[in-house]
Amino acid sequence: MVHSKQIRVLVLNDMEKLDRTLFRQDQGFELQFRLGPTLQGKPVQVHTNYPSKGKKFDRHKFCTLEWINPNEREDDSDKFCTLDLHIAGSYQYYFGHGKEEKSGGGYFVVDPVLRVGANNRILPLDCITIQTYLSKCLGPLHEWPDRLRVAKESGYNMIHFTPLQVLGKSRSCYSLADQLDLNPDFSPPEKRYTWTDVGVLVQKLKKEWDMLCITDVVYNHTAANSPWIRQHPECGYNLVNSPHLKPAWVLDRAVWHLTCDIADGKYEDQGLPALVQNNEHLDKIRGVFDKDVFPKIKLWEFFQVGVDRAVDQFRKLLESGKAVKSKPGAEAQLTIIQDPEHRRFGCTVDMSVVLAAFVPHSNSPEAIEECCSGLRKRLEEMNEERRKEAHYHQEQAINCIMGNVVYERLADHGPKLGPINRKNPLVTRYFTFPFEEMTLNQELLLIHLADKACHFLAHNGWVMADDPLRNFAEPGSNVYLRRELICWGDSVKLRYGDKPEDCPYLWAHMKKYTEITAKHFAGVRLDNCHSTPLHVAEFMLDAARAVRPDLYAVAELFTGSEDLDNVFVNRLGIGSLIREAMSAGDSHEEGRLVYRYGGEPVGAFVQPSLRPLVPSIAHAMFLDVTHDNECPIQIRSPYDSLPSSAIVSMACCATGSTRGYDELVPHQISVVKEERLYTKWNPEAEASATGEVSLASGIIAGKLALNRLHQELAAKGFIQVYVDQVDEDVVAVTRHCPSTHQSVVAVSRTAFHNPKTHHYRDEVPPMFIPGKIEEVVLEARTVERHAGVYGKDETSINGMPEYTVEITEHIQLKESEVVRQADVTSKGPNEFVQEIVFERLTPGSVIAFRVSLDPKAQELVGVLRNHLIQFSPHYKSGSLSDSDAPAILKKPLTSIMSRLTLADMNVLLFRCDAEEQEDGGGCYTIPSWVALKYGGLQGFLSVMADIRAKNDLGHPFCDNLRQGDWMIDYVSNRLLSRGGPLQQVGEWFQAMFGYLKHIPRYLIPCYFDAILVGAYTTALDAAFNKMSEFVQTGSTFVKLLALGSVQMCGVGRNPALPPLSPNLEAVPYRLNDPTGTKEQCCVSLAAGLPHFSSGIFRCWGRDTFIALRGLMLVTGRHLEARNIILAFAGTLRHGLIPNLLGEGAHARFNCRDAVWWWLQCIQDYCKLVPNGTDILQCPVSRLFPTDYAKPQEPGVEDQPLYEVIQEAMQRHAEGIEFRERNAGPQIDRNMQDKGFDVVVNVDPETGFVSGGNKFNCGTWMDKMGESEKAGNKGVPATPRDGAAVEIVGLSKSAVRWLVELYEDEVFPYAEVTVQRDDMEVSWSYDEWNDLIQNNFEKMFYVSHDPEDPNEKHPDLVHKRGIYKDSYGASSPWCDYQLRPNFTIAMVVAPELFTTKRAWGALEIAEKKLLGPLGMKTLDPDDMVYCGVYDNALDNDNHNTAKGFNYHQGPEWLWPVGYFLRAKIHFAKMMGKEAYDETVFLVKNVLSRHYVHLERSSWKGLPELTNENGQYCPFSCESQAWSIATVLEVLHDL
């Protein structure tokens, strides 16, 4: 099915919490939640806070999503709930079931849609080119357009303003004194501007300049001199609301007083001057702390117990008779309880623990005093431990202080602050102190005065390598005490608490600030986002989105972890994370960042519109440099600005820069100290002008061209990216459009080092660009000019006039001054490569080429896309109609496919290597890799599904496609040789491949995939349309299983079935190629792939008829099922159906059960097929009219089917005894001689069909020992002689059915005749039916009653409440083994079982035998159980050598179907609760089969697994009966 809408599917798995996984969605997408295997069958409810239609978003309000089951089936494979995503933001989902309200969950983020211009056109996020302005450097508001015009004329489409609010005393752009008022600096004396005026300007930029504006929001701190924080000190961390900061405050004041003392020269005589210049001075500072500071302030006292007070309290308790009984270990539990108010010696101990730890031996004063002394000693020890802890904190504090001093005063890269004084203290103060200077001792008294202490507010800052999700100012953190904060002394950290009620003024104030911002600006940059409490940022951004739903939120995170980044992006709905090219140490890393931050690889596969939701990385805003980082010119060179900008501009994400970068300002424009104004735009400005700029200034002309190019590439869908590191300095970035196949290749030669002082190599390696270069989009290089030398202007932020850019745009290649020559070489008939040799690609240069495919190749791609439109509207763009298309392409593929039979589909889609080899071919093999699983399309699609999802274009499969046409030809030639409708499909492929072969090789994998996916999905639709309504309307799981019918049912070169009667109607015929004669070509059913798929080992009676109901009757393949039933009927001999069919003539009649499975299938056919009983009259051509007849030609001896059925029943009643033909090693090299003797009879006492002996194995558990070393050769592992439980059930089902047929007058026989006491006696089917019914539970049920009179071997009973596996085995122990076979009898003859007993036995089987995919074939409590099958292992272990344990533990899949069907049947009888639980079990078990099917490259279910579902390499990868019985469960549901 083709979906034009983009749908993403999120599969829910139990206990999967994806809070740190990012799922980005576009508006207009549909998000579907589906159940993973761990949840299928459970009553799962999905909740989300995405708002219901017409409702407003409330983060804390969740609605429950409704489940949609499109096929109204019981299985959960297609069940989903859905959201149509039309509102930007961050949303949460969670799900639960039963008592588990939340058993998993996560977030999804819906990107905003930004609009610009008078016509409100969409600005895609990848189109953004942003420039940052420090608002305080823009001057009065009426002058802003002149300064902002620089951004417009430089090609930017978004401006980022630092905050526009009133600044604090420090004049830092990010220290705001009043969040609600506009900075008065923007107003001239005669006029006061307001937010309305700002809004008008922003709208003008949006409508007239096509530019959007965003600004910062600062939630973490406010300026220390904010008037409102003085009135509302509760909004910060002070000593009243955060008493844990008291010790840190005391240390901070002591450090300040030390600053004053050093500045005042008090330590000069000790060798410590105010100007710190060397390590000796540093050592002196350290010594002063140890000798003077810490002993004076005694920080440890804040963490210690008042010993005298505690001992007195303890003494009084003892004296008042409160002593308790001693508790061992109580003293070890004694710990200091920290005083929440952090008073000196304010800590306490738990007196109940003290009383239990120190118990006096009597009530005498001496005994009490002895206890008090013991306590005093222990408390002093504990206080000493606290003193040591405080000492560790002090040591860290000194280390951090010294680190600051070294950086600020000694380090070459530091600010070199000069002498210590009050303006530049020893270290930045951690707390505000809004009072007059006083002595330290006087200050320390203020700590006890709440009206004063509330104004000692903690400054904000950042902590290196700290957990960004932890608030470093909250209790439990010692950051302030240990001086680990890199402090911003101009700002106070804000204390929000957990909710608005905790600090109402602050939340309301900041909410209003947010709403003002959102009203006027398209987006916000979250300043210091990683340190902003997440719940606060969530609340504020929710308020912002209430004002502006499509708010664009950007942030710069310093978490150091992508997982942690995702927490912020998820919770806050961040649209883009700021990334910086300056973080790259070389050009290689810069190129890697381009690749990392966006785009898919060139030649990527087309992804289906309905596909899994996969985790993504946060959308990037990739900047040359951010405004608060060092200037690139100082770190690299002026020549690098242009090429690094070019590399950034080619990134498939938002890009940008900061004002000053393009003008080549050679220093960082400080957000704190810069007070000059930006230059204005003047197109005529002289190079030497300091207050104006033009296109001739710096690299502005180059940036204009690059910004235009960036926007064009994003707008026109150039979403594919390739980065080529040409050499250590040259990076080539390709952007490719997957619909037009145009490319732009930008080659940048970086100049991280100044070319004047660094030697760059003279030659640049040539480049090879595939396709035809249409034009040089631009070539530019940084050059020196004579316009004076840079001098820092007093009033304007000026750049370096001595550099400019030489740029030429939109020229032909021959006009280029950078390229010397461009030779065209041919790589294929329509693939041209241009070799580019560079002449003047000097350091600091850029050249960009626009490249198209060769015209012929371009045309062929367009035509190919036109023919692919029938599969997806995605291919419309870039398509070309083709009037000369081959005739076969003028028909829709659906009409060609509709002519294929399901047998043809088997050839088209499947056929494993052995099947292909029968036709003289084989599956396609990729050299240096592997052969594909199938010759048909599934072989290719299984590999491509994995490659496509990952865009793994380096896979050997893709290499093979690029290197030659071998795979392409294989697909079409294989079908062309077939004739008929398949040949037409081959012609269609050949015609499509005719175009494919002539396009550039790098595009072949994606278009080969597109062709095959289209053909494959069309074929599947056509196949399902030929199946039953159950399949056509079924779930995806049903369809996947039904595909097993196509996989297993086919016609080989040599017919696998013996010929049917020539008198039978509707038998398919074909011409035999070599002989030219007409022959029957009936579909046969392979037992399993790859081992049982061809030749004489393809068809097995037992396997065929266990699988036939599910794969043929349930899927609606009635005629083919009829033919198989009749073909096997023709082989009846000795009253048996063969096990190995051997094409009929080579059949082996060595199994007791195949005939009963055959009869069960005839019964199912009669019941499931309309007029099904007509089959009883169909002629059967007997291959062996008598037991010892030679094979006869078809039509020589015909009988109606009902006669053959009666013969089978009659022969069993008479008793069957014969020796296999050709007995000996020629037919079985392992079997002992007695094993070739076949005996089957019916017990006249019980009606049970019995037989076999201990030398053979006549049921499906038919492993014959092969190891001479272990001594098990010729020994059956599981003889199951006697009456096997499933044969008893199948025979009961057969006789009951024959009774019904006789009563309905469609079967002429009511009885069989047997010899008893030399007399011929009639035995009615009614009597036989009753006999089995009356004896089954007596003989098979192992009751809970130890005295059960029916129990012949009570000594062998080891599990009760089960059904025996057999009755009357030669080794009686085997009867009592717990195996899954009784469930088969439950399904075919449920009337044999008492409901309660059946239910109990099924519960035991579930507990003991049920595995992830299959059923254990033996009770794991059994002494011979071994769950790992290894057929290659030959050792001396009798139980396992040469796979002897094939059916002694490994988990076979097909019995699961019968177990689940039995469970469903009896659950209905047990009541609603049992039925509901069973439906959950069934869905849950089957979900694992669904997952296996989806992931299997064979698209099948295996024969068996090892224990606990582990992969078994000796198993068939896809087994007919495994698929069939699972499909039957879904049919029953």
The DSSP line for 1363-1382 is E-SEES-SSHHHHT---TTH
- Which residue, 635, 510, 536, 535, is CA-closest to 581? 635
Please report the pLDDT score of residue 1024 as a whole number.
Answer: 98
pLDDT of residue 850 exceeding 90, the answer is: yes
* Token couple for 611: 């596909």
Q: Could you tell me the two tokens for 1418?
A: 């033996």
The confidence score (pLDDT) of residue 328 equals: 78
Q: Mark residue 1262 as left, alpha or beta (left: phi above 0; alpha: psi -120 to 50; beta: remaining).
A: alpha
- Coil, helix or strand at residue 115: strand
The stretches of 447-503 forming alpha helices (DSSP H) are 450-453
Instruction: Please state the rounded mean pLDDT for residues 93-104.
Output: 91
Q: pLDDT tens for residues 1380-1403?
A: 999 999 999 999 999 999 999 999
* Residues whose CB falls within 8 Å of the CB of residue 565, separated by 6 or more in sequence, listed in order: 557, 559, 577, 618
pLDDT band at 3 (very low <50, low <70, confident <90, very high): low
Six-digit token pair at 1335?
């004896």
Kindly write down the DSSP assignment for every residue of 186-218, as one continuous string. GS-TT----HHHHHHHHHHHHHHS--EEEEEE-
Mean pLDDT of the chain: 95
Q: What is the pLDDT of residues 1220-1265, one digit of tens each?
A: 999 999 999 999 999 999 999 999 999 999 999 999 999 999 999 9
According to the 3-state scheme, what is the secondary structure of 926-995?
CCCCCECCCCCHHHHHHHHHHHHHHCCCCCHHHHHHHHCCHHHHHHHHHHHCCCHHHHHHHHHHHHHHHH
H or E element, residue 150: helix 144-153
Amino acid 469: pLDDT: 85
Vertex 785: Cα angle to 779 and 790 (nearest 5) = 120
**pLDDT attached to residue 1533:** 83
Distance CA 898, CA 1309 (A): 44
Q: In percent, how much of the chain has pLDDT > 90?
A: 89
Q: Please state, for a pLDDT cut of 70, what percent of the chain lies above it.
A: 99
Going by pLDDT thresholds of 50, 70 and 90, the confidence category of residue 830 is low
514-528 pLDDT, tens per residue?
999 999 999 999 998
Residue 26: count other Cβ atoms within 10 Å of its Cβ.
Answer: 14
Q: What is the reported pLDDT for 57?
A: 96
| pLDDT single digits (tens) 446-469 | 999 999 999 999 999 999 888 888
> Rounded CA gap, 1162 and 1182, in Å?
17
Average pLDDT on 96-105 reads 90
User: Which residue do the tokens 């550039």 mark?
Assistant: 1000
Asked if the model's pLDDT at residue 71 lies above 80, the reply is no
Q: Own/partner pairs for 857-864, CB < 8 Å, 24+ apart?
A: 857/830, 857/831, 857/998, 857/999, 857/1000, 858/741, 860/830, 860/995, 860/998, 860/999, 861/741, 861/995, 861/999, 861/1003, 861/1007, 863/995, 864/992, 864/995, 864/996, 864/999, 864/1007
Beta strands 610-612; 1366-1367: pairing state: unpaired
- pLDDT tens digits, 1131-1171: 999 999 999 998 888 899 999 999 999 999 999 999 999 99
Q: What is the mean pLDDT of residues 770-778?
A: 94
Q: Which of 1009, 1006, 976, 1004 is nearest to 990 (CA)?
A: 976
Residue 822 has pLDDT above 80, yes or no: no
What's the pLDDT tens digit per position in 851-894?
999 888 999 999 999 999 999 999 999 999 988 899 999 999 99
Q: Which residue has the tokens 């009033």?
A: 795
Rg (CA), the chain: 43
pTM score of the predicted model:
0.90
pLDDT tens by residue, 581-635:
988 889 899 999 999 998 999 999 999 999 999 999 999 999 999 998 888 898 8
CB atoms within 10 A of CB 954: 10
Q: Which of 288, 282, 275 is nearest to 404 (CA)?
A: 282
Whether the pLDDT of residue 238 is over 50: the answer is yes
Per residue in 399-409, pLDDT (tens digit) is 999 999 999 99
pLDDT for 2: 47
Say yes or no to pLDDT of 828 above 90: no
* Among 1055, 1187, 1048, residue whose Cα is nearest residue 1110: 1048
Query: DSSP per residue over 667-687, as a string?
Result: S---TTT--SEEPEE-TT--T
DSSP 399: H
How many beta carbons lie within 10 A of that of residue 166, not counting itself? Answer: 18
Q: What is the mean pLDDT of residues 779-805?
A: 94
- Six token digits for residue 557: 């995170």
- Is it the case that residue 91 has pLDDT exceeding 50? yes
For helices 1118-1129 and 1101-1108, angle between their N-to-C axes, nearest 10 degrees: 150
* Mean pLDDT on 308-328: 86
Cα torsion 381, 382, 384, 389: sign: positive
Helix (H, G, I), strand (E, B) or coil at 1100: strand
pLDDT surpassing 90 at residue 824: no
Residue 67 predicted with pLDDT over 80: yes
The first and second tokens of residue 765, run together, are 């390696």
Asked whether the predicted pLDDT for residue 326 surpasses 80, the reply is no
Q: Predicted confidence band at 672 (pLDDT cuts at 50, 70, 90)?
A: very high
Instruction: Please report the pLDDT score of residue 42 as a whole number.
Output: 87
Active site residues: 527, 530, 628
Question: Taking 90 as the threshold, does the pLDDT of residue 928 lie above it?
Answer: no
Q: How many Å apart are CA 1502 and CA 1506, to the nearest integer?
A: 11
Banded pLDDT at 558 (limits 50, 70, 90): confident
Residue 38 tokens read as 């761990």
Q: What is the pLDDT at residue 76?
A: 83
Given a contact cutoff of 8 angstroms between Cβ atoms, the answer to whether 1483 and 1030 are in contact is no
